[in-house]
Amino acid sequence: MHRAGGGSGSRRNEIIYEGRALVARRIESSTMSDLPADRQSPDNAEDSQGDEGTTANAAAEPITDSTPAVTVPASQSLQEAIERMELTVDPACVPQLDAYCQALWGWNEKINLTRHTTYDTFVRRDLLDSLHLADLLAESEDVLDIGTGGGVPGLLLAILRPDLNVHVCDSVAKKSRAVDDMVKQLHLPVAVHASRVQDVVDDLRFHSLVTRAAGNISQLLTWLKDYWMSFDRLLAIKGPRWVDERGEARHRGLMNQITLRRVAAYPMPGTESESVILQFTRER
């Protein structure tokens, strides 16, 4: 199992990204729109200052990049994409993860569930996030994925961590129907709720609520403000804008009696930013 919490594996990935920065940027330049809004970050502009002593006319001349384009062919299998990212995934999980991709992409032709429609984008976005999240969950936890969309991270957690008791919810009926069909295709022991998170936690209790791209921090805390007795913590996967979101939530008084910890951080492939997993708990 891939370890997410700042250990040697995480540092190894950082070294890989630094060593392949040019390749990574070129690969990702056409896929930045795949990121949820709160996880996008603009490319940093190159420093275009000339050397000392350069004349004004010379400095005004446009600077062109003579570096030849780097073309990296798309991975032809899920295993190849995993190996490119140098992730450690239980080999027994790979066939079911691949089956999930096929089921998701089949449904995506009917309704909009994901823009991660290649093995490489699936691994760099969905699988990477889910692996880090899986590392933070204790054995046999009861977990609810809020606003699951196409099943991320909930269905991936159920595949990677079969010891977990996973529930997923989405208030958009057509998305819930699609995820329910995927669960049946994959024979996963996952409960699918076609309802708001408030309705689910009003009836059931969980150890952890998990979410990615379902809402900003203010929205999440507003939805859950009256239901903290129904769960122990909220784990939210966020991008570089999480600091601004936290500031807005504080300004609105939503962070009162809430303890926030950044429990994981890891590079966003192809960018100079990082993803984080935030843990929210309520002071008892």
The answer to the question of residue 58 being in a domain is no
Tell me the C-alpha distance between 204 and 157, whole Å. Answer: 19
Which pair of tokens denotes residue 124?
């760099």
Element (H, E) at 168: strand 165-169
The answer to whether 118 and 183 have CB atoms below 8 angstroms apart is: no
What's 100's domain CATH number?
3.40.50.150
3-state secondary structure of 116: coil
> Is 219 known to sit in a ligand binding site?
no
| Least reliable range by pLDDT among 10-19, 110-119, 136-145, 252-261 | 10-19
> Is 197 known to sit in a ligand binding site?
yes
Q: pLDDT confidence of 76, banded at 50, 70, 90?
A: very high
Please give the share of the chain, as a percent, with pLDDT higher than 90.
71
pLDDT digits (tens, 9 = 90+) for 19-66: 333 333 333 434 444 455 455 433 333 333 333 333 333 344 455 555
The answer to the question of residue 59 being in a domain is no
Number of Cβ atoms within 10 Å of the Cβ of 16: 16
The answer to the question of residue 45 being in a domain is no
Across the range 206-215, mean pLDDT stands at: 96
The answer to the question of residue 21 being in a domain is yes
pLDDT computed for residue 270 by the predictor? 83
CA dihedral 154, 160, 161, 165 (to 10 degrees): 30
Domain holding 98, by residue range, is: 8-40+72-282
Partnered with residue 276 across adjacent β-strands are 238, 265
Across the range 176-202, mean pLDDT stands at: 98
pLDDT computed for residue 72 by the predictor? 82
Longest pairwise C-alpha distance within the chain: 73
Tell me the C-alpha distance between 236 and 213, whole Å. Answer: 8
CB under 8 A, 24+ apart: contacts of 167-173? 167/142, 167/143, 167/191, 167/192, 167/193, 167/200, 167/204, 167/206, 168/144, 168/192, 168/193, 169/144, 169/145, 169/193, 169/194, 169/195, 169/196, 169/197, 169/200, 170/194, 171/147, 171/195, 171/196
Tell me the C-alpha distance between 53 and 25, whole Å. Answer: 32
The answer to the question of residue 102 being in a domain is yes
pLDDT digits (tens, 9 = 90+) for 246-267: 999 999 999 999 999 999 999 9
The answer to the question of residue 18 being in a domain is yes
pLDDT digits (tens, 9 = 90+) for 91-108: 999 999 999 999 999 999
Number of folded domains that form the chain: 1
> Is 198 known to sit in a ligand binding site?
yes
The answer to the question of residue 51 being in a domain is no
The answer to the question of residue 217 being in a domain is yes
> Is 147 known to sit in a ligand binding site?
yes
Q: pLDDT confidence of 196, banded at 50, 70, 90?
A: very high
The answer to whether 169 and 193 have CB atoms below 8 angstroms apart is: yes
- Listed residue (96, 89, 217) closest to 146, CA to CA: 217
| Least reliable range by pLDDT among 31-45, 177-191, 221-235 | 31-45
- Higher-pLDDT residue of 45, 80: 80
